[in-house]
């Protein structure tokens, strides 16, 4: 089918990128479980390796099952191309890799998943990169943090763990003024609730492990390119604008135009970093995406009900869900995320750390796991798990203080979820 603008989201989440298998007529995308692909002849092989022709060489680079997923995610996000990889963390490195050189930095939101804060504050130092963390509500502070070595601004559309909603357009304007791309982690919102490119973002990353797959079976990541950023407007991005020695002086932006970042991600990123998504993982994610809109509607519906109940409960100090009218971000959520503020939020339990631990241990329907975006409802005490490596100040800045628990509301019966929380809170606050 043609993935044109006449098709709605619900149609594209099922059909984009997928066509009946030409060899067998199979309607569902097959799992192409193969390492390599036979070339037609020597000239065909040479053309593929020279990037003169698009095709399949070796599954570290490209695979037909993964290719369908890449096209589907790019279509749903409104981008020109996508590169899938082994995890969301891999996607973040893949997104930064063409932009950064030793001595360069990224300006990042303080409201990020704890693993991302650790990756940016510690691990990327080994590449000679660095990160400056800023409250992205303070646009002047963001602008002040950008210097001559800054190569990107990074944020989450709906932040993990607190469900904070970012004003992407305002942040994109700051990045544009500095001539650098805004990278948005759209994992928690998904393209059903938010399409960051429509708000000015240049690149989107996903942990496809979460809502896109939606069933807690496989890990994966994706980097999506809007195709709108001018990589040749300055000398800041030589990997994309300058001659590439490994391809006889080819200039990616000059040669591939809007698809420069995507081609670089495959031809350089996957080739040399090897953060490859396996075809079975792609298959599970493709099946999950087919019901994305239906699931997100239910996630949001349930989250509103559960958050409203928690907010009224005297055993709870406060709830961070932006979908509540009382939230300081309610107006922003309605303006930027009109279909809902997602299914992720935190709440503070009276009794602090110990009460949080008792609550987690007392639940029956909610699963205590280090994941989110599952069809099942999930809970975790971030301060003792996902954000444990952070300082107390970093935990508070990320919305993961010791008195907070994070919930990822699933698609079960909301009344059953409320009843489960009720009995567990009774135990926790006894």
Q: What is the pLDDT of residues 264-301, one digit of tens each?
A: 999 999 999 999 999 999 999 999 999 999 999 999 99
Residue 5 confidence (pLDDT): 57
Residue 394 confidence (pLDDT): 80
pLDDT < 70 regions, the chain: 1-5
- If one looks up domain 292-428 in CATH, what number appears? 3.90.1150.10
For residues 210 and 190, give the distance between their C-alpha atoms in angstroms, rounded to a whole number.
9
Residue 401 confidence (pLDDT): 83
Distances (CA, A) of 168 to 7, 307, 344: 25, 24, 18
Residue 3 confidence (pLDDT): 46
For residues 187 and 407, give the distance between their C-alpha atoms in angstroms, rounded to a whole number.
15
According to CATH, the topology of domain 9-288 is 3.40.640
Residue 124 confidence (pLDDT): 97
Residue 396 confidence (pLDDT): 76
Rg of the chain in Å (alpha carbons): 22
Predicted structure pTM score: 0.94
For residues 139 and 174, give the distance between their C-alpha atoms in angstroms, rounded to a whole number.
7
Structure tokens at 265: 């991600």
DSSP structural state of residue 379: E
Q: Where are the alpha helices (DSSP H) in 147-241?
A: 168-178, 190-193, 238-241
- Per domain, the residue ranges of the chain are 9-288, 292-428
Residue 5 phi, psi dihedral angles, 5° rounding: -70, -10
Residue 347 confidence (pLDDT): 96
Residue 389 confidence (pLDDT): 74
Q: What are the beta bridge partners of residue 184? A: 155, 204
């Amino acid at each position: 089918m043609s993935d044109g603008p006449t098709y709605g989201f619900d149609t594209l989440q099922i059909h984009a990128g997928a066509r009946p298998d030409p060899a067998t007529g199979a309607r569902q995308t097959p799992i192409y479980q193969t390492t390599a692909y036979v070339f037609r002849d020597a000239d065909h092989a040479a053309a593929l390796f020279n990037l003169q022709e698009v095709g399949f060489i070796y599954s570290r680079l490209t695979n037909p099952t993964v290719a369908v997923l890449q096209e589907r995610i790019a279509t749903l996000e409104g981008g020109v191309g996508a590169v899938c990889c082994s995890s969301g963390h891999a996607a973040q490195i893949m997104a930064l890799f063409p932009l950064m050189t030793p001595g360069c930095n990224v300006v990042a939101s303080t409201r990020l998943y704890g693993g991302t804060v650790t990756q940016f504050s510690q691990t990327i130092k080994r590449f000679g990169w660095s990160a400056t963390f800023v409250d992205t509500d303070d646009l002047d502070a963001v602008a002040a943090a950008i210097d001559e070595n800054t190569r990107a601004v990074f944020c989450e559309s709906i932040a993990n763990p607190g469900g904070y909603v970012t004003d992407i357009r305002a942040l994109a304007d700051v990045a544009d003024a500095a001539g650098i791309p805004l990278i948005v982690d759209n994992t928690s919102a998904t393209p059903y609730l938010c399409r960051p490119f429509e708000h000015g973002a240049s690149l989107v990353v996903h942990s496809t492990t979460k809502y896109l797959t939606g069933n807690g079976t496989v890990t994966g990541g994706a980097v999506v390119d809007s195709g709108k950023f001018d990589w040749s407007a300055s000398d800041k991005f030589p990997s994309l604008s300058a001659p590439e020695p490994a391809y006889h002086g080819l200039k990616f932006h000059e040669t591939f135009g809007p698809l420069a970042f995507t081609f670089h991600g495959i031809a350089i990123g996957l080739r040399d970093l090897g953060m490859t998504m396996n075809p079975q993982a792609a298959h599970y994610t493709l099946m999950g995406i087919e019901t994305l809109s239906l699931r997100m509607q239910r996630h949001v519906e349930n989250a509103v009900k559960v958050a409203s109940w928690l907010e009224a409960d005297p055993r709870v100090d406060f709830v961070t869900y932006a979908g509540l009218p009382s939230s300081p971000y309610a107006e922003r959520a309605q303006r930027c995320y009109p279909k809902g503020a997602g299914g992720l939020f935190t709440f503070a339990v009276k009794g602090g750390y110990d009460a949080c631990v008792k609550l987690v241990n007392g639940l029956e329907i909610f699963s205590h796991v280090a994941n989110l975006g599952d069809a099942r409802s999930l809970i975790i005490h971030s301060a003792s798990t996902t954000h444990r490596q952070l300082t107390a100040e970093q935990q508070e800045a990320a919305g993961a203080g010791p008195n907070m628990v994070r919930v990822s509301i699933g698609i079960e019966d909301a009344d059953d979820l409320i009843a489960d929380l009720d009995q567990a809170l009774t135990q926790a606050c006894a």
